[in-house]
Amino acid sequence: MKSIFLSLGALSALIGVGMGAFGAHGLKTIISPEMLTVYQTGVTYQMYHALGLIGVALIHRQAPDSKLLHWAGWLMFAGILLFSGSLYALALLNHTWLGMITPFGGVCFLAAWLLIALFATPNIRSSDHNSRYK
């Protein structure tokens, strides 16, 4: 069974490596050190959550009917787009209003990890297969 989360995780990691290289080599002399730090934060969180998506894909193979894992994967991907994407745009465009989007991505990350923790809790996981979590 192929997994959309494995694909999204691998593509997110690929893009994260590219964005990191671009930031390290192409942006040093173009943006301020503060904005470079903002940009690097986006890269760091993108890479962590790309690996998280790959983890969700691997775990999801063991429980393909889990809605908790399904939603965790989509929330993690949304978090990458909103959190890292807004930080990249903020650093490159220097529009401070873009920083208002970042917390929504952070909430997506937190919710994704919470769903994974709930899945890992045996009593909740068993109800995941038999109840309203589907």
Write the pLDDT tens digit of every residue in 86-134: 999 999 998 889 899 999 999 999 999 999 999 999 766 565 555 544 4
Mean pLDDT of the chain: 91
4-26 vs 33-62: helix crossing angle, rounded to 10: 160
Instruction: Return the pLDDT at 127.
Output: 56
69, two tokens: 């894992």
Whole-prediction pTM value? 0.88
Instruction: Return the pLDDT at 122.
Output: 78
**What is the residue extent of each domain of the chain?**
4-128
